[in-house]
Amino acid sequence: GQKKPNGFGLYDMSGNVYEWVWDWRGNYSTENQSNPTGAPTGSNRVYRGGSWSSDPWFSRLSVRLGEVPPFSESNIGFRLGRSL
């Protein structure tokens, strides 16, 4: 909580470590969407958010990288979340 919150009122969501997300890597639909979920199936999961070792450009939430789920690096983590 040392920086300003993002548009959702959440703090510290970018730049610490990349974070695995539930989405499969793939193209989004061309339709106008809010919070798209990505491809319904695939072989690579998405990680995003930038890390301490990346250029600032990669900390943009629109940047989606992907790897097979067992992939591991010191700059990739995860965040537990729950729908309300």
- Tens digit of pLDDT at every position of the chain (84 positions): 677 887 778 777 667 888 888 889 988 778 888 877 778 889 999 998 888 888 888 887 678 899 998 899 999 988 777 777
Q: Which residues contact 11 (CB under 8 A, 6 or more apart)?
A: 1, 2, 3, 5
Q: Where are the beta strands (DSSP E) in 1-84?
A: 18-24, 45-48, 65-67, 76-77
Q: What is the pLDDT of residues 19-31, one digit of tens each?
A: 888 889 988 778 8
The pLDDT mean for the chain works out to: 83
The pLDDT value given to residue 67: 93
